[in-house]
Each structure stands twice: as C-alpha cells, then as structure tokens.
Amino acid sequence: MDKLIVTGGNRLDGEIRISGAKNAALPILAATLLAQEPVTICNVPHLHDVTTTMELLGRMGISLVVDERLNIEVDTSTIKNFYAPYELVKTMRASILVLGPLLSRFGEAHVSMPGGCAIGQRPVNIHLDGLKAMGADIRVENGYIIARAERLKGAKIFLEIVSVTATENLMMAATLARGTTVIENAAREPEVEDVAKCLIAMGAKITGAGSSTITIEGVEKLGGAVHRIVPDRIETATYLVAGAVTGGRVKARDTDPKLLEVVLQKLEEAGAEISTGEDWIELDMGGRRPKAVNIHTAPYPAMPTDMQAQFMVLNAVADGASRVVESVFENRFMHVQELLRLGSEIELEGNTALINGVPGLQGAPVMATDLRASACLVLAGLVARGETHISRIYHIDRGYECIEEKLQLLGANIKRVLDRSAV
Ligand code: EPZ
C-alpha cells in the first residue's frame, strides 16, 4: 500500500494539462455495449476506475485495443456473457452503468448490487424503477440484479431525485427501446451531455441532454463512432483550489471554463483573479490568503458536491467564518475529522459544517476515506506546516491521474512512498 507525503509551505506556480473526465469516461465505456461496430474513445484518463471498467468489459468477452495515446477501441462483437461480478462492482459502484446498455441491446443483464460507500447509502432504486417502467423484468437474487426484457419500450419517467448515473443508465437503455422515452427531472451535468453526444455519434436520436428533460427516440441499432471525452471539470477545479489555498498561480490547460461557472465565481469571491480562454483557465491569488466563502452543494449547474471537500480546505485556512451545506449525499463529511487533526476549526450540525478560518494548519498523519476527501487532504497538506502523511491513497488513484506529478509540476513538495505501517 502506498501513501503520499506532502510538505507544506510552497506557493504553487505553474501550468498543468487536464485529463478527460472520469465521470464521462465510465458511462461512455458502458455505452459501447450498445454499438454493433467498434467505438473509439479518445482523451480517456489513466485512472484506476477506467482500468476496472475495461476489466469488466473484458470479462464479458469484449475486445479492447488501447493505443499508445490511451485511445481505446471497443469491439463488442465478441461478447460472451452479460455479467458484472461482485468483486469488480464492490470496488466501483459505477459498474451499475452496464445494466441499461446490456438490457437494451441483449435483453439480459446480471449485475451485482453495488454496496454502500463512505459518502452515503447510494441506492440504485431510481435506476431499477426506470427500467421497470420501460418493461424490464427486474429481480434481485443473492445480491445480484437479474434483469430481462424481450425489448424495452419507451416510457415517460420522472426521476424522484436528480441522479447522474440513473439519468445516464436510462438514457442509454432508451436508445434501442421501441418508441420514445422522456426522462424528466434529469441530471444536467456536462458528463450526461457528453454521454449523449457519444450516443448520437453512434446513431442514437436524443434531444435535451444537458437540460432537465431528455427525449430519446428508440432506433433499431447503433453503429461505431469516434468520441473525445470532455475535460474533467472536477480535476480542473481541484487544482485551481490548490492554487487558491497556497496563494499561488495555476493555469489549467485542455479544459473548458464553461463547465465551471459557479466554481469560478466562488473562487473570485474568495479573492482569486480568474482569467479564461477557449480551453484554459488561470487562477492567480497574488500571495493573498483566501477569503471565507459559503458553499451549498446541489445538482449541476450549482456547486458540485464533488468540490465540497476541496472548498472545505480553502475555508479552513481562509480569513473569516463560513458555512458549507452538503445537500446531495448524507454522509460526505468524512474528511472533517481528518482536517480537525491538522488544526482546523470545524463544527458539524447535520448536513452543515461551520468553519472558522485559521491562519495555518499543522502537518499530521491522516487517512483518506473516499476519492474527493483524499484530494482535500492533499490540498490541506500543501498549506500545513511540516509533513502530512496521507494513507489509503488508492482512493485518490481512482479519480486523479498522476496527482503527485501534476502537483510537482506546480511546485508542490509531494512524494509517493510505500506505507510500511499499512496492514
Ligand atoms: C455521480 O454519482 C458521480 N459518479 C459522483 O461522483 C457524483 O458525486 C454524483 O453523481 C453527484 O454529482 C459518477 O458519475 C460515476 P447520484 P451517482 O445518483 O450518479 C440518490 C466522484 O467523486 N440516489 O447523482 O451515484 C443518491 O443517494 C463521484 O467522482 C438514490 O436515492 O450520484 C444521492 O443522494 C462520487 N437512488 C443522490 O441521489 C438512486 O437510484 C444523487 O446521487 C440513485 C441516486
């Protein structure tokens, strides 16, 4: 097991390249199950979750050819089974995304129920209810979802909660259904739009992706396509916050400022100077300490829940008091206990954290609990005095490509070592 050692005090100053979005790559890899010809996906991030998804497809008998630039060509003509095993699903809940495509194209799917995770119960009832509305026979036996359908039929589906992967699963399932499907109260995340763009390139008939009402007219078959994954807005925002907390300057290239409007506004409120171009964003704090900012997470286009932990670090060292409200997941404050170990002043009241900014944090050993919490601990280490040792960093490798190399490029003192204390 590895750990990261971060030595605080360096003001970041530099430029990095942003990778393709994890939360677009995962559903788009699943979407290739719908195509009768090979699909090539470009700008795929080199992440553990992507490798897991490729293994999941490989175990179904699907061929995946990866070129030297990590473009992946997926050919499903050799598929042998429609099975997503527990030992893979338990490591990556997003495996549920193969359910809709398998059911829609092959009429059958055996997908392990994803367990809970650190940030919440994360049920999949909305996925299953939507597929039932489309005529699927869904049973749960021995921890597996057994789904069957002669051919799915179009339906009008209202999502009781705005769910990103449920929107994606149902949109993918509807592409080959008989008739038209309307998904209301759909998630509007840019990653949902990117999945739709890829499906349309494969021949799907979809309108409204990116809005809260998506209409899908079922077709007989989908063909091959070439699709470039949208930039990762959460990776971008994480590095911008790293610049903000260290009073530094960070330029993120190969990204898209239109995906991050609320985050950029909040960073300006915290005292950052933000400049943008077609595919880049630059943050400059000019050596200033950030000002405290109130955060309230909600579905896109509001403040992403995936940025809550990172802004918690900014507020922990900011000038002033602030409040952070987490309205999407019921248990996404696991990082608070770890931040308290570093000397922050945070009080929790239900889904609200009250933070009193302190001039500085002290380095200490801490433990990552989930993907974005681990990123938050790295950011805290950048500003803490002395060394911060972060264990269980397998969480971070799921969602951040080469995080220590990218931060070293920005001038951070960070290294990955073997964690001899880990069992
Ligand atoms: C996606 O998860 C992302 N993952 C998450 O990113 C992200 O935090 C989340 O959307 C919210 O933006 C991927 O896209 C692979 P939801 P998802 O369904 O789809 C409840 C990261 O760090 N719900 O939008 O699983 C659910 O419990 C990860 O990259 C149901 O009740 O999230 C939550 O409270 C973490 N029943 C709310 O909806 C369901 O069937 C929103 O969850 C589905 C969801």
> From the CA of 162, how far away is ligand 1's center (Å)?
9
What gap in Å lies between CA 32 and CA 76, rounded to an integer? Answer: 7
| Model pLDDT for residues 324-336, shown as the tens digit of each residue | 999 999 989 999 9
> From the CA of 381, how far away is ligand 1's center (Å)?
27
Confidence of residue 384 (pLDDT cuts 50, 70, 90): very high
| pLDDT value for 117 | 74
Name which residue sits closest to atom 26 of ligand 1, judged by CA. 122
> From the CA of 163, how far away is ligand 1's center (Å)?
6
| pLDDT value for 59 | 97
Task: Say which range, 43-47, 107-111, 392-396, has the weakest mean pLDDT.
Answer: 392-396
Residue 305 Cα: closest atom of ligand 1: 8
Residue 191 Cα: closest atom of ligand 1: 14
What gap in Å lies between CA 218 and CA 227, rounded to an integer? Answer: 21
117 a catalytic residue: yes
| pLDDT value for 48 | 93
Name which residue sits closest to atom 10 of ligand 1, judged by CA. 164
Name which residue sits closest to atom 27 of ligand 1, judged by CA. 122
Find tokens 């719908």 and name the residue: 34
For residue 270, pLDDT over 80 is answered with yes
Residue 234 Cα: closest atom of ligand 1: 29
Residue 165 Cα: closest atom of ligand 1: 19
Take residue 130 and report the two structure tokens written for it.
């939507």
Residues with CB under 6 A from ligand 1: 22-23, 26, 94, 120, 122-127, 161, 163-166, 187, 305-306, 328-329, 371-372, 399
What gap in Å lies between CA 197 and CA 183, rounded to an integer? Answer: 16
Average pLDDT over residues 216-229: 98
| Model pLDDT for residues 68-92, shown as the tens digit of each residue | 888 999 999 999 999 999 999 998 9
> What phi and psi, each to the nearest 5 degrees, are found at residue 307?
-110, 0
Q: Please choose from 92, 328, 331, 396 the residue to mutate so as to test ligand 1's pocket, defined by most ligand atoms within 8 A of CB.
A: 328
| Model pLDDT for residues 401-421, shown as the tens digit of each residue | 999 999 999 999 999 998 887
Per-chain mean pLDDT for the chain: 96
Q: Which helix (H) or strand (E) holds 148?
A: strand 144-148
| pLDDT value for 159 | 98
Residue 187 Cα: closest atom of ligand 1: 24
Alpha-carbon radius of gyration of the chain: 21
* Helices and strands, number each (H, E), in the chain: 14, 26
Residues for the chain: how many in total? 423
For residue 286, pLDDT over 70 is answered with yes
Which long-range contacts link 398-401 to residues 24+ away (Cβ below 8 Å)? 398/22, 398/47, 398/48, 398/49, 398/92, 398/371, 399/22, 399/47, 399/49, 399/234, 399/235, 399/371, 399/372, 399/375, 400/47, 400/235, 400/238, 400/371, 400/375, 401/19, 401/45, 401/46, 401/47, 401/235
Q: Which residues, 6+ apart, have CB-to-CB distance to 6 below 8 Å?
A: 363, 378, 381, 382, 384, 387, 388, 390, 412, 413, 414
> From the CA of 174, how far away is ligand 1's center (Å)?
20
Calculate what percentage of the chain has a pLDDT beyond 70: 99
| pLDDT value for 260 | 97
> From the CA of 125, how far away is ligand 1's center (Å)?
12
> From the CA of 330, how far away is ligand 1's center (Å)?
11
| Model pLDDT for residues 86-135, shown as the tens digit of each residue | 999 998 999 999 999 999 999 999 999 987 677 887 889 999 999 999 99
Catalytic position from the list 117, 198, 376, 402 = 117
- Under DSSP, the state recorded for 177 is S
Average pLDDT over residues 203-224: 98
For residue 25, pLDDT over 80 is answered with yes
Q: What is the pTM for the complete model shown?
A: 0.97
Find tokens 């398998």 and name the residue: 102
Q: Which helix (H) or strand (E) holds 195?
A: helix 190-201
Take residue 266 and report the two structure tokens written for it.
């909040």
| pLDDT value for 423 | 56
| pLDDT value for 109 | 98
